[in-house]
């Protein structure tokens, strides 16, 4: 969905991942999210194991919901819909204590992998989800450098299926959820966790680390989490 607006809700907790939370989320908040007006697609992400030779960001989110909309007005209309489950996203009724939800909205940009002229549809199920958080000295310069230089190297990963960037947009937040304060997102997609780990063990991972050293000034944090993606809406897509 190149160019679509991606809306993210990321839910974390100090508690370890518990399968009960995933069951509750799909039966409650996810069911409500699927009814939002203007929704094009809805992907649910759950934690997966990975090994990165350079990074260990600890336990990932309990879940991440990613909803696609055609444009910003459609997203904003969905967020004021009575079907938007704000209280549940904040953890009301959750089987896990101390739930914290943050959200963000960004524009989606797909990049072809090495040897391809265009990007493939998003069908593979294992993602390495990367987020860059403010502060950053010059956000526009950082993002321009990133999208020009980093995706071509990411596309060299063996077994890679998709390279996606998420870029900031101007939007009005009508909810009471906390802002994730993300200025750039990246996602590389593989068929299986084993394929992701093989890629992270390849020489391309070292090449990416060298490219990272050329990024413009950046004092915020960045996070890397392996996650399994399931498309909940439309069903069967």
pLDDT at 55 over 90: yes
Confidence of residue 64 (pLDDT cuts 50, 70, 90): very high
Query: Which pLDDT score is estimated for 237?
Result: 59
pLDDT at 35 over 90: yes
Between the alpha carbon of residue 106 and those of residues 4, 40, 185, the distances in Å are 9, 15, 8
pLDDT in tens, 143-155: 999 999 999 999 9
Angle at alpha carbon of residue 11, lines to 140 and 228, rounded to 5°: 85
HEC profile for the chain? CCCCEEEEEEEEECCCCCHHHHHHHHHCHHHHHCCCCCCCEEEEEEECCCCCCCCCCCCCCCEEEEEEECCHHHHHHHHCCCCCCHHHHCCCCCCCCCEEEEEEEEEEEEECCCCCCCCCCCCCCEEEEEEEECCECCHHHHHHHHHHHHHHHHCCCCCCCEEEEEEECCCCCCCCCEECCEEEEEEEEECCHHHHHHHHCCHHHHHHHHHHCCCCCECCCEEEEEEEEEEEECCCC
User: Residue 87 to residues 3, 61, 171, 211: CA-CA distances in angstroms?
Assistant: 30, 18, 21, 42
Residue 153 has a pLDDT of 98
Write down the mean pLDDT value for the chain. 95
Residue 236: pLDDT over 70:
no
Q: Which residue has the tokens 């321009």?
A: 144
CATH class of 5-233: alpha beta
Domain ranges of the chain: 5-233
């Amino acid at each position: 969905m190149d160019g679509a607006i991606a809306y993210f809700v990321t839910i974390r907790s100090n508690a370890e991942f518990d399968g009960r939370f995933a069951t509750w989320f799909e039966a409650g908040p996810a069911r409500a999210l699927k009814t939002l007006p203007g929704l094009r697609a809805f992907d649910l992400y759950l934690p997966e194991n990975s090994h990165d030779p350079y990074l260990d960001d600890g336990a990932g989110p309990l879940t991440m919901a990613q909803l696609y909309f055609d444009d910003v007005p459609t997203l904003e209309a969905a967020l004021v819909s009575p079907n938007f489950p704000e209280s549940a996203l904040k953890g009301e009724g959750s089987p896990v204590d101390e739930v914290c939800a943050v959200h963000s909205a960004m524009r989606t940009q797909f990049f072809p992998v090495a040897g391809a002229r265009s990007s493939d549809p998003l069908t593979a199920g294992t993602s390495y989800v990367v987020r860059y958080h403010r502060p950053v000295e010059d956000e526009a310069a950082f993002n321009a450098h990133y999208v020009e230089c980093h995706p071509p190297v990411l596309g060299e990963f063996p077994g890679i299926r998709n390279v996606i960037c998420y870029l900031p947009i101007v939007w009005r937040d009508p909810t009471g959820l906390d802002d994730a304060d993300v200025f750039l997102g990246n996602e590389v997609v593989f068929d299986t966790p084993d394929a992701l780990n093989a890629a992270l063990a390849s020489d391309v991972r070292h090449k990416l680390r060298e490219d990272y050293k050329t990024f413009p000034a950046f004092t915020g944090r960045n996070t890397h989490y392996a996650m399994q993606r399931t498309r909940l809406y439309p069903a069967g897509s």
